[in-house]
Amino acid sequence: MSLVALILFQALCSAFFVFDVIEDLSRGEVPLMHMLPEVGATIGLFVGILFEVRSLMVLLRRQAHMEKSLGVAAGALAELMEDYFRQWALTPSEADVAAFTIKGYSIAEIATLRGSAEGTVKTHLNAIYRKAGVQGRGQLVSLLIEDLLNAPLVPKDGMAGAEART
């Protein structure tokens, strides 16, 4: 946003100089030594605006690419989680607790979000860890991240997902 403001400010300054140069030329009595710095400053402002517009476009394209990549990664992680939850034969409640656990929520937070007791969440977590063959939250998250890092997010056919990992 600040780059846009700078571009607009420079455009206003350029417009001022252009009108000043036009006014000076219309009078016809302004010496060349006075006109050269004004014309040079005006050209410099226009060149600066062009570079800033180009930089802004590059930044906007980069931001769009990063947002797209983040969306692909989030989608790939969600698909990977669903695949694992099916392989481990998690119940819907266990899958819900597992998703919250992977997202980093504490047992108390999960219990509050699900409207259940902490003991129930702990029971679900024990079942999840047993079915996944891991010892705890760290290993559960590591399992998913390791698998995600070992697979391309966007396969050659352009589709993201579990099909590319299998």
> CA-CA-CA-CA torsion for 92, 95, 99, 102, nearest 10 degrees?
160
Weakest-pLDDT range from 32-46, 99-113, 125-139: 32-46
Structure confidence at residue 34 (pLDDT):
81
Task: Using the predicted structure, report yes or no on whether residue 118 has a pLDDT greater than 90.
Answer: yes
| pLDDT tens-digit readout, 2-13 | 888 989 999 998
Task: Using the predicted structure, report yes or no on whether residue 165 has a pLDDT greater than 50.
Answer: no
pTM summary value:
0.52
Q: Is 28 helix (H, G, I), strand (E, B) or coil?
A: coil
Question: CB under 8 Å to 60, separation ≥6 — which residues?
Answer: none
Share of the chain above pLDDT 90, in %: 46
Structure confidence at residue 155 (pLDDT):
53
| pLDDT tens-digit readout, 102-111 | 989 999 999 9
* Mean pLDDT of all residues in 39-68: 91
